[in-house]
Amino acid sequence: PAAPARAASPARPARAIGRSPGLLELQELAETGPSVDAIAPYLADPDPKVRRAAVATLTEVAPDGAAGALATALADAHGSVRRAAATALRELVEVLPATPAVRDGLAPALRSEDAIVRAAVVDVLRALRLGSPAVFGDALGDADHRVRRQAVRGLVAHDAADEVARAAHDPSREVRVAVAHGLGTIGDPAAAGTLGGLTGDADALVRAAAFEALAGIGCPHPLDLTAIGALHDPAWQVRTGAARGLAAASADVAPGPLAKALDDPHLDVRKAAAISLAAFRDVPEVRDALSRAQDDPDADVRAYARRALTAAP
């Protein structure tokens, strides 16, 4: 026989089990364009989910004083709240006021036990131009590579080539790559020795960055010859970096090797060679090579070759 039908269960209220009323209040509050003072109580709520939602509301509304409130949240006891605040500061950096008050509010977080917080603060201080070379120099000694990488970027913003070069032997590949790119950006010819050392790094990505950076310091001799040799490196990233770096080399040495690089099996190397050869378009060998490259199987290579031939001198 069929089982008897069960009585219908009484309807339950449409409310998420365990959901804090503070979350619902914040959702409604966000629609009113609240001030920092209106959001502040939620940043002190016992529930980290509410505090995290308060950070999200600050990010969405971006009221006056948001920087100070987010700086305070960087010291939250819960990691998810701290990291939400760090992310929010980075997202809002273009609208945050670059004032001494903001700098002073962020400064304590440089000593946070959370490396993500420290890295974010160093990054934000750089972006707002509120960090001094001393601040970034101190961060260069941080135990976490993410902080050191941001410290390098901060020092680059101050053209502090000597300080940047201090990190050339950092154990982190990401930091050494940042050093190479940074020295190329600063463009101080005195960095040739440091970049020369990095072109021999054991890591291919570091070598690639170092060769590319040579363009920023004029690809001096004998590093130009090192770059020419690197056009035969097994790693395509290194060959690409070498092709880019040779754009600034002497017309006596660069055109021939770059023209041969237009036949490289990797399209990124061929693109880099075509772009760099634009600086030597008056050399007959280069014009012939670029003309042939207009038949390259890759559309980007063809476009760069065409542009190199037709660009105004």
- Domain that includes residue 63, residue range: 41-109
Overall size of the chain counted in residues: 313
pLDDT of residue 14: 42
Contact 66, 57 (CB under 8 A): no
Q: What is the mean pLDDT of residues 66-83?
A: 97
Task: Please give the Cα distance from 164 to 155 (Å, whole number).
Answer: 6
The answer, yes or no, to whether residue 178 has pLDDT greater than 50, is: yes
Q: Within a domain: residue 291? A: no
* Percentage of the chain modeled with pLDDT above 70: 93
Long-range Cβ pairs for the range 56-63 (8 Å, 24+): 56/84, 56/88, 57/26, 57/29, 57/30, 58/88, 59/88, 59/91, 59/92, 60/30, 61/30, 61/33, 61/34, 62/92, 62/95, 63/33, 63/34, 63/35, 63/36, 63/39
User: If we measure between CA atoms, which residue out of 246, 245, 307 comes closest to residue 281?
Assistant: 307
Instruction: Identify the CATH number of the domain in which residue 80 sits.
Output: 1.25.10
Looking at the domain assignment, is residue 278 inside a domain?
no
28 or 262, which is more confident: 262
pLDDT tens digits, one per residue of 238-280: 999 999 999 999 999 999 999 999 999 999 999 999 999 999 9
From CA 6, how far away is CA 272, in angstroms rounded?
A: 74
pLDDT of the residue at 145: 99
Query: For the whole model, what pTM was predicted?
Result: 0.89
R_g of the chain computed on alpha carbons: 27
Are the C-beta atoms of 291 and 258 separated by less than 8 Å?
no
Averaged over 294-308, what is the pLDDT? 96
User: Are 70 and 81 spatial neighbours (Cβ–Cβ below 8 Å)?
Assistant: no
Say if CB 62 and CB 68 are below 8 A apart. Answer: no
CB-based contact 182:159 (threshold 8 Å): no
The pLDDT, as a whole number, for residue 17 is 43
pLDDT of residue 15: 42
**CA pseudo-torsion sign 247, 250, 252, 257:** negative
Flag whether 222 is in a domain. Answer: no
**Cβ atoms of residues 183 and 217 within 8 Å:** yes
105, part of any domain: yes
Number of domains in the chain: 1
Q: Is residue 99 part of a domain?
A: yes
Considering the domain boundaries, does residue 92 fall inside one? Answer: yes
pLDDT at 20: 78
CA–CA gap between residue 76 and residue 133 (Å, rounded): 28
Domain annotation covers residue 74: yes
Asked if residue 91 belongs to a domain, the reply is: yes
Band of residue 313 on the pLDDT scale cut at 50, 70, 90: low
Give the tens place of pLDDT for each residue, 129-149. Answer: 999 999 999 999 999 999 999
